Amino acid sequence: MLVINYKSQISVLLTSGKSSSYRSSMGFDQHIEQVYAHLKGNLKCRPRDKEWRVAQLKALRRLLQENDEALCAAMWKDLRKSRFECVATEQGIVLSEIEHALRNLNSWMKPQSVRTPLYNQPGICEIRHEPLGLVLIIGAWNYPINLLLAPMVGAIAAGNAILLKPSELSQHTTQLLVQLLPQYMDSDLIAIIEAGPAETSILLNFSFDLVFFTGSGAIGKIVMSKSAQNLTPVVLELGGKSPALVLADADIEVAARRIAWGKFMNAGQTCVAPDYILVQPSVKQQLVSEIKKCLHQFYGAAPQRSLDYCRIINQKNYDRLISFLVGEKILAGGGADADDLYIEPTLIEGQWNSLVMQEEIFGPILPIIEVGEIEKMISLVNGKPKPLSLYLFTRDRSHQELVLQGTSSGGVSVNDVVMHMPVPGLPFGGVGASGMGHYHGEFSFKTFSHAKGILRKSTWMDIPIRYAPYSIRNIKILRWLF
């Protein structure tokens, strides 16, 4: 496994301004050319058959198992992520994807027969899933293991060569991965590269067979437009404002506990975290007081001292989040400590048109907005770009159907939050502004494969009606054959 460390060049870029970036960029250019040529060259001569895929999946499993503590320690340094959250939401999800792939690889790889229409008889039709080739996976910082390595499981299962580009913001985890991956994976076909925005932009000049990107919509647009120059397909795993609708008939105690867990895990820096709550007026007070109670149970009277509560990734995001609180009515929390990048779990009385409702929050601030009618909730949700997830709390099946049919989102949990995401049998991805393409389980395998349609025909019979000179008489037969 090949590793390139551009830390020194990146720091030149960051500290010496634009004038030196050309020189540094040239350096990166040459290095990336080498990595690219190495992977591309090996693609032609190295088989990525079932044995290779199984060996790589097992190697990745070993990496995660043997380095569990070091990975948790790195994520503690980056985000103050607790060991429990690391195991449950990072390594655990990747390991579950690996097990699922190992169990199902045989059947995924098997050619799939499809019915052969009469006009192609005698013949056989089948679909074969072939590797796309060389794929680039660009990760995000908020789940630096999960969002880089879970897609990688699919890319391996489908037999691709892989270039990994972790986020520069989760620097401790990124550096550990850069050190560990070469010790476990096949360097001829799998490489990892450290790169910031400027270097990633250079990377995107190269022609990949797929770019799998996780991050914000703004950068997603850059990735897509650069990839378009090479006609490279993209999967964009983006974010958005995922709503939680709470109806009066819901079990409010359970709803509060689940929402508080999903929102404040990772200090709200979760793409599928509930972004805001729409709640029916008769249960709003109860919901607020139950969430407050849960926050106290989860993180104690002083969440800053809790070992289970994360920090904001950097000053820029801290400042962005603090700006959302200006002029808002705080229902709970509101405390912050810039030196510690700490923002207390905070509930605010939401206003539909306030600043905090204009963009994805991606932090521990939860606006709660009273809305009377379910139809009004649906129309408010539909007035915003399609979210990555939607959450609905109600026991009423007809209300569940109303919302499921009346809204569009990447995924849905009814009477829960986040929990649809790790299920390997469910596709995970966005729709509209929240992304394109999906992965997890077999969906990953298919995303990283080309489904090749194959017709194998016999030559012993050659029905002549398709050949010129055409006969009107044969149109009838043609219609029957189709």
Site residues (CB under 6 A) for ligand NAD?
138-142, 147, 165, 167-168, 196-197, 200-201, 214-216, 219, 222-223, 237-239, 271, 360, 362, 388, 430, 435
Question: Which residues touch 292 (CB under 8 Å, ≥6 apart)?
Answer: 331, 332, 347
Is the Cβ of residue 27 or residue 385 nearer to ligand NAD in the bound state?
385
Cβ closest to ligand NAD, residue 82 vs residue 269 = 269
Q: Choose among 236, 279, 286, 241: nearest CA to 263.
A: 241
Please name the residue that has the structure tokens 């359970």: 254
With H, G, I as helix, E, B as strand and everything else as coil, classify residue 278. Answer: strand
Residue closer to ligand NAD, measured from CB, 219 or 246: 219
Q: Which is nearer to ligand NAD, 67 or 214 (CB)?
A: 214
Please report how close the Cβ of residue 199 comes to ligand NAD at its closest, in angstroms. 8
Q: Which of 129, 149, 160 is nearest to 39 (CA)?
A: 160
Catalytic residue of the set 85, 199, 237, 328: 237
Amino acid at 188: D
* The two structure tokens encoding residue 79: 């985000």
Find the shortest distance in angstroms from Cβ 360 to ligand NAD.
Answer: 5
3-state SS assignment for residue 124: strand
- H or E stretch at 160: none
Tell me the C-alpha distance between 472 and 141, whole Å. Answer: 65
The two three-digit tokens of residue 38, written as one number: 């190495």
Give how far the C-alpha of residue 308 lies from the chain's centroid of Cα atoms, to the nearest Å: 23
Residue placing its CB nearer to ligand NAD in the complex, 350 or 430: 430
Residue 168: CB minimum distance to ligand NAD, A: 5
R_g of the chain, CA atoms, integer Å: 25
> To the nearest whole angstrom, how small is the minimum distance from the Cβ of residue 221 to ligand NAD?
10
Is there a catalytic annotation at residue 271? yes
Catalytic residue (one of 72, 86, 271, 294): 271
C-beta closer to ligand NAD: residue 113 or 358:
358
Q: Give least dist CB 198 to ligand NAD, A.
A: 7
45 is catalytic: no
The answer to whether residues 411 and 428 touch, using CB atoms and an 8 Å cutoff, is: yes
Q: Which candidate, 259, 336, 325, 247, places its Cα nearest to that of 295?
A: 259
SS3 355: helix
| Distances from the Cα of 65 to the Cα of 53, 90, 131, 235, angstroms | 18, 12, 27, 28
Distance of CA 370 to the CA centre of its chain: 31
Tell me if 140 sits within 8 A of 313, measured CB to CB: no
CB of 428 to ligand NAD, least distance (A): 7
- What three-state secondary structure class fits 16? helix
d(CA 9, CA 24): 6
Cβ distance to ligand NAD smaller for residue 201 or 408: 201
CB 64 → ligand NAD: shortest distance, Å? 19
Instruction: Give the separation between CA 210 and CA 236, rounded to whole angstroms.
Output: 11
Handedness of CA 191, 192, 197, 199 (dihedral sign): negative
In this complex, which beta carbon is closest to ligand NAD, that of residue 54 or of residue 322?
322
Question: Least Å distance between CB 433 and ligand NAD?
Answer: 10
Task: Report the residue number whose CB is nearest to ligand NAD.
Answer: 239
* Residues marked as catalytic: 237, 271
